[in-house]
Amino acid sequence: MLDVHRLRLLRELRHRGTLAAVARALGYSPSTISHQLDVLEREAGVPLLEPIGRRVQLTAEALLLVEHAEAVLERLERAEADLAAARGEATGTLRLATFQTVAHSLVIDLLARLEGGPLVLDITHLTAQRALEAVLAGDFDMVLAEEFPGAPMPFADGLEVEEVCRDPLLLAVPDGWDPDDLAAMPWAVETAASPAQGWALRTCRAAGFEPIVRYRSDDVLLHVRLVQAGRAAAFLPELVRRCGFPDVRLRPLPGPPQFRRIITAVRAGSSRHPAVQRVRRGLRQSATVGGDGML
């Protein structure tokens, strides 16, 4: 009989890449992890690891075993969720990974909604892609992410996704600048390869110009400050109004309205957990109550 604990270690190695990373995440020594995987290899009766330089790589048989391990662990997580639902109230700690504008708005509001209750949030600010990988590895229980028009998020198997709201994407131009002369303006955009930057560049090109990019940062609130200081134009989400900039002037984009989707992702099997359902419900309430432009 294969040991579930050892199967979990093999799954962790698949997600984290190295024995040292698994050891750091789980609080064991690398030698202990290696020993447990050796035992699993004997139980399985097939090679599971092969050395590649100073690292190890999972064999084809190990990858097949990980697929079954994922299914087993999902069922266990579903069982934990069902037991928690049978107990009723959402309690304990939910580990939440979030990105900047949502952290400054919806999450702050959510904390107020949960204050004094039995459910506690443990919050980490992390980019969406890193957070999605980390929630699969078990480092977080839920991740907040964003999805831009024309760039659907590549969600991995093993995640269950739910929409919180749709956040309008708008144009911000410094006071005194001609909004009809966007091609001549300096722009602030997010960093290379981000979905936000890709959407911004596609939007400018569809309008017939290549933006003069002078500022590149994933700090969207810096973009707001650059607009207010008369340094750059930028595309900003409606949520920045709730991030300490209620008076920022935002204009609709030409053509049909465009939105980014704010979504939550959890491991498959955990969506019925009362804590997950309570946080998702609270986020939707925060988006509805405080966001005039939200859908």
Last residue of one domain, picked from the residues 83, 118, 143: 83
The domain total for the chain is 2
Contact 98, 286 (CB under 8 A): no
**79 and 14 in one domain?**
yes
Instruction: Provide the pLDDT for residue 237.
Output: 97
Distances (CA, A) of 11 to 8, 38, 78, 193, 270: 5, 14, 17, 29, 18
**127 and 58 in one domain?**
no
What is the per-residue pLDDT across 242-276, written as a single tens digit (0 to 9) for each? 999 999 999 999 889 999 999 999 998 899 999 99
**271 and 125 in one domain?**
yes
Last residue of one domain, picked from the residues 37, 67, 83: 83
Instruction: Provide the pLDDT for residue 126.
Output: 87
What is the per-residue pLDDT across 154-208, written as a single tens digit (0 to 9) for each? 887 889 999 999 999 999 999 999 999 999 999 999 998 789 999 999 999 999 9
What is the per-residue pLDDT across 76-102, written as a single tens digit (0 to 9) for each? 888 988 888 888 778 999 999 999 999
pLDDT at 72 over 90: no
Q: CATH number of the domain at 64, please.
A: 1.10.10.10
**146 and 281 in one domain?**
yes
The CA distance from 86 to 103, in Å, is: 31
Instruction: Provide the pLDDT for residue 222.
Output: 98
What is the per-residue pLDDT across 103-143, written as a single tens digit (0 to 9) for each? 999 999 999 999 999 999 999 998 877 788 888 888 899 99
Instruction: Provide the pLDDT for residue 253.
Output: 93
Instruction: Provide the pLDDT for residue 289.
Output: 75
**209 and 237 in one domain?**
yes
**pLDDT greater at residue 266 or residue 15:** 266
Q: CATH number of the domain at 159, please.
A: 3.40.190.290
Instruction: Provide the pLDDT for residue 178.
Output: 95
- Residue 178 lies in domain: 90-295
Instruction: Provide the pLDDT for residue 290.
Output: 59
Instruction: Provide the pLDDT for residue 292.
Output: 54
Coil, strand or helix at 243? coil
Instruction: Provide the pLDDT for residue 54.
Output: 80
**68 and 111 in one domain?**
no
Q: Terminus-to-terminus CA distance in the chain, angstroms?
A: 51
Instruction: Provide the pLDDT for residue 147.
Output: 95
**135 and 79 in one domain?**
no
Instruction: Provide the pLDDT for residue 27.
Output: 81
How many whole angstroms from its chain centre is CA 132?
Answer: 5
pTM: 0.85
What average pLDDT does the segment 63-74 reach? 89
**157 and 64 in one domain?**
no
Instruction: Provide the pLDDT for residue 26.
Output: 79
What average pLDDT does the segment 16-22 reach? 87
pLDDT band at 214 (very low <50, low <70, confident <90, very high): very high
pLDDT at 291 over 60: no
